[in-house]
Amino acid sequence: MFKIIRKNTVVISWIIAVTFIVTIFISWGMNFSGKAMMPHMAIVNGKKITADEFQQAYQTKYNNLKDSYGKDFDPESIPDLKKQVLDSLVKENILLAEANRYGITVTEDEVVNGVRSSFSDINTYNQYIKFAPPLWWKKKEEDVKKEIMMAKMIGAMVDHATLTDGEIDSYYKREYEQAHLLHILISPKKLVPQTDIADYYEKNNEDFMKKGKLKVRHILIAVKENASPQEDGAAKAKITDLYSQVKGGADFAEIAKKNSNCPSAQNGGLLDYFGEGTMDPEFEKAAYKLKVEELSSPVRSKFGYHIIKLEDKLPDTPKLLEEVEEEIQGILLTSEITKNAAKKAKGIYKALKKGEITFEEAARMYSHGTISSKTAGDIGIIPKRFISKDIGTATVATWKEELGANDNEMDGKITSAAFNLKSGEMTTVIENHLGYHIIKMKGKIPADLTKFDTIKTDVITKSLMEKKSKTYQDWYNGLKKKAKAVITENAL
């Protein structure tokens, strides 16, 4: 299926190939130890999901999470990871069996495009084109084909869903109500002793350096991220030709003036000094790898293809303690400190329940929230779920620091508990990634009907997604029952 790609694959040494294959086997979790393993983990439609299949899937999931989170990845933060993996294998078996029953197929073009889009960027994709052996590509193709089949099957079941006006109205009133809350946050990180943080910073300040600003020249051949293969190929061919010219001794500035699609072309491609976080991530990553006067190979960014030449690099400078304090708190955080934070939160809750202290007093004395600690716990009015686009960035930042919201939504674990309260009631201790929370309801505010028309399209989209999700879940639960899916006792 991937003959076109493989024909263009650079021939690599058998040593690299073998190294890559060994890495894949390790990531797949092959059991070379000879240790006896459970014969199967589950049975679906009479078919066994073997322990080897589970181990491969688990190790792949584990490695993907580790790559995503980096050094911050803590497996204990996902205590049901093994159950998630086994559930996904059960679901895969059920959905693929149903897709085959319906005669759903996947074309070669769909697989090719699916494989390409599965990579985070074009540079990573090109690296795999160069070095990944056929065995790896075959597994990748199979996985992508399965994903597309399952997506088509689910789509066929839920895409017919429609909404009535009553359902839209009900969704808006339910999901867009607000509440005035009091809040206490006990953050484990905030219990890390300040003296330990300062001491760690002094001993390891070389680990907290701000990269010096760069001054570069570059040549850009512009092409859109979603360009057709023909357009992308033409841009890549052009930048490759220019790269050969510059490598061969042609003047970089003159080549930039004549060919670059960036406004900097008139200055020979010269850009002002820039620091971390100010440029396209791929461009910046490539630039910071260079030595002064060194030339990059062609780099793909969201703007197109670049050749970068480093003109100057300013010295790295140490970050201030306040800039890295939270990072150091995370480094020094121990399970013992986390247990103490949970114990502290439970103690405060008990004191509140007994009436030994008022909520406002407890918030002033104990809350680690940036706002609640200063306002006797009053964090104002918050949405139940969705954060409106007209909400100021400072307010959203507060909700992130206090409650664990993201840019678009509140933390569902927090708000579902809070919005179940009646006026004057208080939650038990709620745990999320920030720490331990106690919330008191001051009062609910109905959804603002005057705003409905301005966000009607968005409301319809979200409510339709919810209905499709419920339609899918009901359908899948029926399939699971029909498939007589059984998890082996003590499998996990």
For 348-397, write each residue's pLDDT tens digit: 999 999 999 999 999 999 999 999 999 999 999 999 999 998 899 999 99
d(CA 40, CA 46): 12
Number of neighbouring beta carbons within 10 Å of residue 108? 13
pLDDT given for residue 490 in this prediction: 74
For the cut 50, the answer to whether the pLDDT of residue 91 exceeds it is yes
For the cut 70, the answer to whether the pLDDT of residue 9 exceeds it is no
pLDDT in tens, 421-461: 999 999 999 999 999 999 999 999 999 999 999 999 999 99
pLDDT given for residue 77 in this prediction: 67
pLDDT given for residue 121 in this prediction: 75
Q: Confirm if 413 and 432 have CB atoms less than 8 A apart.
A: yes
Of the candidates 283, 244, 285, 247, the one whose C-alpha atom is nearest the C-alpha of residue 264 is 283
Percent of the chain at pLDDT exceeding 90: 76
Percent of the chain at pLDDT exceeding 70: 91
Split at pLDDT 50, 70, 90, the class of 221 is: very high
Per mean pLDDT, which range of 32-46, 202-216, 274-288 is the poorest?
32-46
d(CA 197, CA 321): 9
For the four alpha carbons of 335, 338, 344 and 348, in that order, the dihedral sign comes to negative
Structure tokens at 449: 């009907």
d(CA 214, CA 222): 22
pLDDT given for residue 4 in this prediction: 39
258, HSE (Cβ side, Cα atoms, 13 Å): 11
Using alpha carbons only, how large is the chain's radius of gyration in Å? 28
Compute the mean pLDDT over every residue in the chain, rounded to the nearest whole number: 89
pLDDT given for residue 236 in this prediction: 94
pLDDT given for residue 60 in this prediction: 85
For the cut 60, the answer to whether the pLDDT of residue 13 exceeds it is no
User: How large is the average pLDDT for residues 16-35?
Assistant: 39
pLDDT in tens, 265-315: 999 999 999 999 899 999 999 999 999 999 999 999 999 999 999 999 999
| Ramachandran area for residue 422 (φ above 0: left; ψ -120 to 50: alpha; else beta) | beta
Q: Between these two residues, 470 and 72, which has the higher pLDDT value?
A: 470
d(CA 486, CA 322): 53
For the cut 70, the answer to whether the pLDDT of residue 109 exceeds it is yes
Split at pLDDT 50, 70, 90, the class of 149 is: very high
Amino acid making up residue 105: T
pLDDT given for residue 292 in this prediction: 96
d(CA 187, CA 337): 10
pLDDT given for residue 329 in this prediction: 95
User: How large is the average pLDDT for residues 144-161?
Assistant: 95
For the cut 80, the answer to whether the pLDDT of residue 120 exceeds it is no
pLDDT given for residue 72 in this prediction: 63
pLDDT in tens, 70-88: 666 777 767 788 899 999 9
pLDDT given for residue 70 in this prediction: 67
| DSSP result, 146-195 | HHHHHHHHHHHHHTT----HHHHHHHHHHHS-EEEEEEEEE-GGGGS-HH
Q: How far is CA 28 from CA 15, 19, 54, 57, 62, in A?
A: 20, 14, 10, 7, 10
Spell out the domains of the chain, with CATH numbers in brackets: 3-158 (1.10.4030.10), 177-196+322-446 (3.10.50.40), 209-318 (3.10.50.40)
